Amino acid sequence: MDKIALPKPFRHHYHHHHRFFTLFLLLTVSTVVPNPVESQTQLPSDVVSLLKFKLKADTNNKLLYNLNERFNYCQWQGVKCVQGRLVRFVLQSCTLSRIFADNTLARLDQLRVLSLRNNSLTGPIPDLSTLTNLKALFFDHNTFAGTFLVSLVSIHRLQSLDLARNNHSDSLPVQLSNLDRFNNLYLEWNRFTGSLPPLNQTTLQVLNVSGNNLTGPITAFLSRFNASAFLLNPNLCVSYQNPPPAANDPLLGCLSPNFIWGVFILRWWRELQRWWCCVVGAAVMVVVAVGW
C-alpha cells in the first residue's frame, strides 16, 4: 500500500508535538524514578551505617534489614534504640564473616554497647574513636588481626573491653592506663608482645591476659589478680621486690605465673591427699568400732 503523504503544514505540526511529548516523558520519568544516592541520603544516618556494615560483613545475608514502606530499623535484629537513636548493637553468633569496614558503625555516635562476639570477622578493627559514648565493646571469638587499636584508648567512657581469642599482635599501648572507668579487660589468647602496661585503675575488677607473649614483671598492684590471669606468657613474672629484678628467677623474687599456679596445684593436691587420709582413717575406725 502506498504511504499517504501529509501536507507540509500538518507534517511540521506533527513533528513539533512529537518532540514535545518525548521531552515530557523524559521529565516525568526523571521525577518519578528516585536516584539511589539521593534516596540513601534521605535515610536516617544510623540506618545508612547499619546497611553499609551489613554490605561488607553479612556475606551470608542472614540479617533481614529490609527497607519497605513501613520499616522501623529499631526493630531490626540486634538493634535497640532510645528516642529514635541506636544505643545498643548486639550481633552475637550470627555467622558474620569477611570484614568490619571503615566508616560504618563508627558513625553511630550514640552507641553505648557494641558486641560482635563469636563470629568470623577478620582483618583489622577500624577506627572507633568517634564512639565517644561507648561503654562496652565485645569483639572476642573472631579472627580480627593487626595491632591493638590505639583509637580505643581515646574512648574515655569505656568500661568493658573484650578482644579475647583473636589474632592481635604487637605491644599493648601504655595509654590503657588512662581509661579510669575500666572494670573488665579480656585480652587472652592473642599474640600480644612486650611489657604489660601499669593498669593501676582501682576500678579494674577482672583482668585476663593469659596465652600471649608478654614479657617483664607484673606490677605489685596487678599481682592482686589470680595467677591464672597471666598464665602462658613464658617471660612474664610477678615481682616481689621494689624495684623489680630484671631476671625471671624465683631466687630474685620474680616468679612466673606458671610457677605460682604449679605451686597452687601442688598445695591443693596435698590438701586433697590429707583430706582423703582423714576420710579413710575415719572409715577404718567406724568399721573397727562396729566390729567390736
15 vs 186, more confident:
186
Q: What is the mean pLDDT of residues 112-121?
A: 98
215 contact partners, CB below 8 Å, separation of at least 6: 193, 194, 195, 233, 235, 236
Grid cell listed for 156? 574515655
User: Residue 35's pLDDT band (boundaries 50, 70, 90)?
Assistant: very low
182 contact partners, CB below 8 Å, separation of at least 6: 158, 159, 161, 176, 199, 201, 203, 204
Q: What is the mean pLDDT of residues 144-158?
A: 94
Q: What is the mean pLDDT of residues 260-271?
A: 55
pLDDT at residue 276, as a whole number: 72
Is pLDDT above 60 for 245? no
pLDDT at residue 27, as a whole number: 42
* CATH numbers and ranges of domains, the chain: 39-291 (3.80.10.10)
The 143-147 sheet, strands edge to edge? 97-99, 120-123, 143-147, 167-171, 191-195, 213-218, 235-239, 254-255
CA atoms within 13 A on the CB side of 119: 25
| pTM for this model (two decimals) | 0.72
Three-state SS annotation for the chain? CCCCCCCHHHHHHHHHHHHHHHHHHHHHHHHHCCCHHHHHHCCCHHHHHHHHHHHHHCCCCCCCCCCCCCCCHHHCCCEEEECCEEEEEECCCCCCEEECCCCCHHHCCCCCEEECCCCEEEECCCCCCCCCCCCEEECCCCEEEEECCHHHHHCCCCCEEECCCCEEEEECCHHHHHCCCCCEEECCCCEEEEECCCCCCCCCCEEECCCCEEEEEECCCHHHCCHHHHCCCCEEEEECCCCCCCCCCHHHCEECHHHHHHHHHHHHHHHHHHHHHHHHHHHHHHHHHHHC
85-90 and 79-82 strand pairing: antiparallel
Grid cell listed for 2? 502506498
Is pLDDT above 70 for 38? no
